[in-house]
Amino acid sequence: MKPLLKWAGGKRAIAGELFSNFPADWDTGTYIEPFIGGGAMFLHINPKKAVIADLNKRLINFYTYVKNEPEPIYAKIMDIAKRFNRNSTEILKKEYFLEIRKAFNSSESTSLESAAYLYALNKLCFNGLYRENSRGEFNVPFGQKKIFPALELAEVKNVSLLLRNTKIMNSDFETTTKIAKAGDFIYFDPPYKPVNTSSSFTSYHAVGFDIEDQKRLAELMVDLAKNGLRAMCSNSDTPVSRDIYKELDIRAIRAPRMVSAKASGRGSISELLVTNY
């Protein structure tokens, strides 16, 4: 199933390869994905029972509306799409984008409006990025789109159906894993920078994720193994991350990584696939 959102670090291109490294009986328990982002992996594997989580409350609000109210959120998105497409010039389209951005930033983070605006901004902003300033306001510029990308109600309903047996949490990854039981499988896709832009873990997401967080995650994976819980983690292939995750099983995989919107920014890079089994 195709993700509804584009998200930095999306795993769509390597979902199959990551999946081939899951334990054979990964779906006997609950599938847990504590850094859901665009949800490419979750949608690729179609789990029978799952928990998805993220620290970004507006993203979690979006998934909650897709799960519980697919038709109202679709209708709201279509209203925005029609209004966007009715603007005849690039200047008017940009003005409308800025209007949506302002409305999103002042909307209640648990509202239907916020959920629909998040989708619209994801489609219309530069490169589908999600970035917030220090005041917590979404600040990605207009992506110069001419028309709102097409969306079918069936696409929203399909994701909604899959979310029916999924618990959605707005929490830090450590809290999310507290609900794991023997037989469950956890896939962590934390924020990390692609190696070819920088080798350090500075924040590129709305929510900062630094070396201390990476160490916290590596320790958590070791502890989970001690409690019989299997987990996999993706990361950038740098000496720093190889060192942080050294107590776990590490292998490198090739990943086509889209760094910029232009084809010249694409390229195959090495990524780490870390497991505690």
Ligand X SMILES: C[S@@+](CC[C@H](N)C(=O)[O-])C[C@H]1O[C@@H](n2cnc3c(N)ncnc32)[C@H](O)[C@@H]1O
Residue 245 lies near ligand X (rule: CB under 6 A): no
Distance in Å, CB of 40 to ligand X, minimum: 4
For residue 253, give every residue at least 6 positions away whose Cβ sits within 8 Å of its Cβ, in sequence order, or none.
Answer: 14, 17, 18, 270, 271, 272, 273
Q: Which is nearer to ligand X, 34 or 96 (CB)?
A: 34
Distance in Å, CB of 266 to ligand X, minimum: 17
Q: Kindly tell me which residue out of 4, 7, 255, 273 binds ligand X, with binding defined by CB under 6 A.
A: 7
CA distance 103 to 113: 9
CA distance 188 to 233: 5
For residue 206, give every residue at least 6 positions away whose Cβ sits within 8 Å of its Cβ, in sequence order, or none.
Answer: 56, 130, 131, 132, 136, 138
Distances in Å between the alpha carbon of 6 and those of 3, 133, 210?
7, 20, 23
Distance in Å, CB of 94 to ligand X, minimum: 26
Q: Which is nearer to ligand X, 236 or 276 (CB)?
A: 236
Distance in Å, CB of 77 to ligand X, minimum: 19
Strand partners, 251: 273
Amino acid at 184: D
Distance in Å, CB of 255 to ligand X, minimum: 12
Residue 37 lies near ligand X (rule: CB under 6 A): yes
Q: Kindly tell me which residue out of 4, 32, 51, 55 binds ligand X, with binding defined by CB under 6 A.
A: 55
Q: Which is nearer to ligand X, 9 or 70 (CB)?
A: 9
Residue 56 lies near ligand X (rule: CB under 6 A): yes
Q: Which is nearer to ligand X, 40 or 220 (CB)?
A: 40
Residue 11 lies near ligand X (rule: CB under 6 A): yes
Encoded tokens for 180 = 């794991």
Residue 188 lies near ligand X (rule: CB under 6 A): no
Measured from the Cβ of residue 22, the count of other Cβ atoms closer than 10 Å reads 18
Residue 78 lies near ligand X (rule: CB under 6 A): no
Q: Kindly tell me which residue out of 4, 14, 32, 40 binds ligand X, with binding defined by CB under 6 A.
A: 40
Nearest in space to 136 (alpha carbons), one of 230, 227, 207, 209: 207
Residue 10 lies near ligand X (rule: CB under 6 A): yes
For residues 118 to 157, the per-residue mask of contacts with ligand X, x marking binding by CB under 6 A and - elsewhere, is ----------------------------------------
Burial status of residue 221 (CB atoms within 10 A of its CB: 0-12, 13-18, 19 or more): buried
Helix ranges (DSSP H) in 3-111? 15-19, 40-45, 57-68, 70-86, 90-106
Burial status of residue 109 (CB atoms within 10 A of its CB: 0-12, 13-18, 19 or more): middle
Q: Which is nearer to ligand X, 205 or 257 (CB)?
A: 205
Residue 255 lies near ligand X (rule: CB under 6 A): no
Q: Which residues bind ligand X (CB under 6 A)?
A: 7, 9-11, 34-35, 37-41, 54-56, 59, 172-173, 189-191, 205-207, 209, 213
